[in-house]
Amino acid sequence: MSYPQLLTPEEKLADAKKLLSLPRIVVICGSTRFMTEMNEADLLETKAGKIVVKPACDMKSPHERWSDPVEAESLKVRLDELHRAKIRLADEVLVVGDYIGDSTRAEIAYARSLSKPVRFTHPEVDPAA
């Protein structure tokens, strides 16, 4: 007797998105030094009918919320985990900027490990190229 295979969490999410008739979800990745470019990419992707998620905190810019180094490090860990959740939620990844640092490189590798399509505003910086 054969049993139906259970859906993976990823398959359940994809089915739920279809049932809800959600547009494609794109997550923007890249160094927060490119926040201006990320905002422009957000505008273009939104105009194209996509739901956009992206980093919201630019920890490279001074702010009272991360002025304490201990709190800043704790926040960075939480933000990194939150961004990985955004990658899991997304249908595709858009990497913004002409520089790829260690964090962005790790995000790209994570997205690719999940078989997410990855696009680049500057394809020449693709670590796989």
CATH code of residue 118 = 3.40.50.450
Residue 59 lies in a domain: yes
Residue 2 lies in a domain: no
Residue 127 lies in a domain: no
Count of structural domains, the chain: 1
Count of residues making up the chain? 129
Handedness of CA 118, 29, 100, 81 (dihedral sign): negative
Range of the domain at 73: 23-122
Residue 17 lies in a domain: no
Residue 1 lies in a domain: no
Residue 110 lies in a domain: yes
Confidence band for 1, pLDDT divided at 50, 70 and 90 = low
Confidence band for 61, pLDDT divided at 50, 70 and 90 = confident
Predicted TM-score of the model (pTM): 0.90
Retrieve residue 127's tokens.
């670590």
| Torsion region of 30: left, alpha or beta (phi above 0 gives left; psi -120 to 50 gives alpha) | left
Residue 116 lies in a domain: yes
For 68-122, the pLDDT digits (tens) are 888 888 998 999 999 999 999 999 999 999 999 999 999 999 999 999 999 999 9
